[in-house]
Structure 1
């Protein structure tokens, strides 16, 4: 049986506009990180593998319960704010950026299966 290919480096959803900001993801051996491409030297929010899996499930279902252990997401008109629970890091994305990220999640682009066990 062929192994699942792993992604390395920072990636954004294939649904993101190339010139605009977006949620950018880096899958790691221990989980994942996200950052905001609109911010030069954007801080990253880190997830363990278990936290990433729970968060991706929340994003896929469209029910952000904030029970993933890593981040809390809040919304205001045209703003999705992702705040790390263990640091002061906060990233804010537009509706368009969030929709592109969510579409990429739905397509499996950021699946925890792509993270090494």
Structure 2
């Protein structure tokens, strides 16, 4: 994956990764988020050396709000 201002090719270069407390570790679709960075890095928990997508704080907050309100439909 090419580096852009919205991705990091190797997410293992960042620190502070964590999974949601709702994740029991047996789910195939887990994401990790890293704390302590200017943007909010998000990666696939199964690909720790894979890419991370960077969200602005406003973008990440909007995404979480939409998830909590059930505004995202699976498969769209």
Please classify the TM superposition score into its range, dividing by the shorter chain length. 0.5 to 0.7
Gaps of 5+ in 1: 1-7, 65-72, 77-117
Q: Paired residues, what number?
A: 61
User: Over the residues paired in the alignment, what is the CA RMSD in angstroms?
Assistant: 2.5
Q: CA deviation at 1:20?
A: 5.0
Q: TM-score, normalised to structure 1's length? A: 0.43
Gaps of 5+ in 2: 1-14
Q: CA deviation at 1:19?
A: 5.3
Higher helix share: 1
Q: TM-score, normalised to structure 2's length? A: 0.61
Q: Which residue of 2 aligns with 1:3?
A: none
Higher strand share: 1
Taking the aligned partners of 2:39 and 2:48, their CA distance within structure 1 comes to: 23
